[in-house]
Amino acid sequence: MLRRFFSFYLPHKKLFIIDFSSAIIVALFELAFPLAVQWFIDTLLPTENWSMIVTISITLLLLYILSTFLQYIVNYWGHMLGINIETDMRRQLFQHVQKQSFKFFDNTKTGNIMSRITNDLMDIGELAHHGPEDLFISVMTFVGAFWIMFSINVKLALVALIILPFLGWLMVVSNLRMNRAWKKMYGEIADVNSRVEDSVSGVRVVQSFTNETFENQRFQANNQKFRKAKLRGYKIMSFSLSGIYMMTRFVTLAVLVVGAWLSYTNQLSYGELVGFVLYVNVLFKPIDKISALMELYPKGMAGFKRFTELIDTDPDVVDTKDAVEVATLRGDIRFEDVSFGYDEHKTVLKGIDLSIKAGETVAFVGPSGAGKTTICSLIPRFYDVDNGAIKIDGIDVRDMTKQSLRSQIGIVQQDVFLFTGTLRENIAYGKLGATEEEIEEAAKRAHLESFIDSLPFGYDTQIGERGLKLSGGQKQRIAIARMFLKNPPILILDEATSALDTETEMIIQQALTELSKNRTTLVIAHRLATIRNADRIVVVTEDGIAEQGTHDELIEREGIFANLHRVQFQR
């Protein structure tokens, strides 16, 4: 774990070395200062050599200025090192999340992912900066100070040494407990985030059911759990800090009393006594630093642990070693004995055999939950089949790179996801870097033109978060415009018009018909009128593909489709 943590320093070696060496020089200066004071009192003052005293004072002043400058470097560059590492980790995590398969997102709460990328990494930067540096400096100062103290006076040094075991015990015990407390705290804040994400993105549902009080209570429950966990961490921390404070001040007092006696019995000079008391203070610095580290280390490491947990979650749909980059596909799709389940307890598709010719329009109908969407999700490898294979133009989709495979498949769904931004940006999402002409052409073909012309800001209209300011039909047309830009040989229309009123549906149907020209098109629709023109209709039930054929063939057959048809059109 630690080794892995340190590997993040590698790209920032230079910064680390500058920061670290500056910190060491500052620490050495601090360490030497009491010795200088002692020498000043015991040796220099009695000589009454004033010019020497002035020279020495000026030298000290210059050293102070140098040390101040180095401290600035340590603070600023050291934190820069920390922030750089934090930013690197955040970037890695975000990239990693982007690579995850649909299955991962089915099973992971969005708020949880957000926590890991944002909050959890907050303390890492601080730890990365202070961790190794403060630890090293502390040990160095501590050992150095004791060594000098022993050389000044053994008895007095032993007095100071007595507290060490107690201090060590206190630190270890509270460290362990704090570690647990912070880990729990991060878990709780992740839950708080999930709640916020859920309630805020569902706020329209919440308000329409006037369930605000319920949401508040749910949120408050998580919020309180977080409060409790964090408070527990602080309780342990406060206890340990107070303990440390008490022990260290106690030692100062003991040194002063014993030192006074030693000096009274002529075993210690005044300079040595002053120097010694100063050294006790030098000792406190690393103790303060280490106790700060004791808060920082578990916090940072708890975040780092959660970071590695997510980074180590391998995406389950990946390119194989010798995956091929496919050029434009014709769009021949073949399902060969395909079985699939979202989890091992329940198979959704069993032994599906289906072959779709390039350019054909195939409609899928059947009861909701039969697996129509699932069939379509397997083609772009949103999920991988458990058994059998899906081949496009004779090549197994698992042998193609995901990038080249997915660039050839366009999907229009019932709910269109739009990004916060302008209309233009949302249309251009179909082809990043599309020219103005291409965007306008696509909008025109998607029958968006008159709508856009009617807007005061036209293409620059902000569509609100997730397209909130648009109607279902308008969103759908943006999705279609994206497809014209993407221009894929394979098109999947999953209930694309199901949520629309009949009039809007007609306009969009026109655009869709135009869109599906010269492409292999898979249409899922529950309004049978919309699929009358399909080349073939496939009826999917929970037991698999029940019947297939043209519209007229299926009506004639008097089977499931004929039944569905009768129900929908009899009125």
Asked if 412 contacts 494 with a C-beta cutoff of 8 angstroms, the reply is yes
Nearer to Mg ion, 174 or 373 (CB): 373
- Interaxial angle between packed helices 154-161 and 122-152, expressed in degrees from 0 to 180 and rounded to the nearest 10: 150
Tell me which of 370, 378, 485, 493 binds ligand ADP, using CB under 6 A: 370
**Partner residues linked to 364 by β-bridges:** 524, 538
Minimum gap (Å) between residue 348 Cβ and Mg ion: 11
Nearer to ligand ADP, 30 or 198 (CB): 198
Minimum gap (Å) between residue 372 Cβ and ligand ADP: 3
Minimum gap (Å) between residue 435 Cβ and ligand ADP: 36
Tell me which of 138, 199, 240, 374 binds ligand ADP, using CB under 6 A: 374
Nearest to 534 by CA among 372, 365, 375, 363: 363
Which of these segments, 62-70, 159-167, 366-374, 414-422, binds ligand ADP (CB under 6 A)? 366-374
Nearest to 375 by CA among 414, 402, 330, 338: 338
Tell me which of 145, 283, 329, 348 binds ligand ADP, using CB under 6 A: 348
Which of these segments, 176-184, 249-257, 363-371, 397-405, binds ligand ADP (CB under 6 A)? 363-371
By CB under 6 A, residue 141 contacts ligand ADP: no
Nearest to 277 by CA among 294, 296, 258: 258
Alpha carbon 205 to chain centroid, angstroms = 27
Which of these segments, 143-151, 167-175, 251-259, 372-380, binds ligand ADP (CB under 6 A)? 372-380
Which of these segments, 92-100, 205-213, 218-226, 372-380, binds Mg ion (CB under 5 A)? 372-380
Nearest to 303 by CA among 91, 130, 120: 120
- 462 CB contacts (<8 Å, ≥6 apart)? 420, 421, 422, 469
Which of Mg ion, ligand ADP, none binds 520 (CB below 5-8 Å, type-dependent)?
Answer: none
At position 330, the amino acid (one-letter code) is R
Nearer to Mg ion, 193 or 374 (CB): 374
User: In residues, how long is the chain?
Assistant: 571
Size of the site for ligand ADP (CB under 6 A): 10
Coil, strand or helix: which one is 527? coil
Alpha-helical segments (H) within 265-317: 270-311
Nearest to 398 by CA among 407, 411, 408, 388: 388
Distance separating alpha carbons of residues 376 and 394, to the nearest angstrom: 17
Alpha carbon 80 to chain centroid, angstroms = 21
Minimum gap (Å) between residue 349 Cβ and ligand ADP: 8
Of 58-87, binders to ligand ADP (CB under 6 A) are: none
By CB under 5 A, residue 374 contacts Mg ion: no
Coil, strand or helix: which one is 499? coil
Nearer to Mg ion, 199 or 373 (CB): 373
Minimum gap (Å) between residue 397 Cβ and ligand ADP: 18
Nearer to ligand ADP, 192 or 540 (CB): 540
Distance separating alpha carbons of residues 486 and 480, to the nearest angstrom: 10
Per-residue binding letters, 525-544, with Mg ion (x by CB under 5 A): --------------------
- 212 CB contacts (<8 Å, ≥6 apart)? 206
| Six token digits for residue 401 | 């790179």
Asked if 480 contacts 446 with a C-beta cutoff of 8 angstroms, the reply is yes
By CB under 6 A, residue 372 contacts ligand ADP: yes
By CB under 6 A, residue 520 contacts ligand ADP: no
Tell me which of 368, 450, 454, 570 binds ligand ADP, using CB under 6 A: 368
Nearer to ligand ADP, 289 or 372 (CB): 372
Distances 511 to 414, 477, 504, 551 between C-alpha atoms, Å:
15, 8, 11, 22
Nearest to 27 by CA among 295, 293, 277, 283: 283
Residue 389 sits at φ, ψ, to 5 deg, of -155, 155
| Six token digits for residue 319 | 């390119």
Minimum gap (Å) between residue 84 Cβ and ligand ADP: 38
Read off the DSSP letter of residue 41. I
Tell me which of 8, 234, 239, 342 binds ligand ADP, using CB under 6 A: 342
Nearer to ligand ADP, 372 or 536 (CB): 372
Asked if 450 contacts 407 with a C-beta cutoff of 8 angstroms, the reply is no
Nearer to ligand ADP, 106 or 316 (CB): 106
Tell me which of 82, 275, 331, 371 binds ligand ADP, using CB under 6 A: 371
Which of these segments, 15-23, 134-142, 366-374, 506-514, binds Mg ion (CB under 5 A)? 366-374
Of 88-107, binders to ligand ADP (CB under 6 A) are: 106
Of 400-429, binders to Mg ion (CB under 5 A) are: none
**Partner residues linked to 365 by β-bridges:** 539
Residue 431 sits at φ, ψ, to 5 deg, of -155, 95
Tell me which of 22, 373, 487, 521 binds ligand ADP, using CB under 6 A: 373
By CB under 5 A, residue 373 contacts Mg ion: yes
- Starting at the edge strand found earlier in the chain, the sheet holding 349-356 runs 349-356, 333-340, 387-392, 395-396
Nearer to Mg ion, 291 or 377 (CB): 377
Which of Mg ion, ligand ADP, none binds 431 (CB below 5-8 Å, type-dependent)?
Answer: none
Residues forming the site for Mg ion (CB under 5 A): 373
Query: Where along the sequence are the contacts to ligand ADP (CB under 6 A)?
Result: 106, 342, 348, 368-374
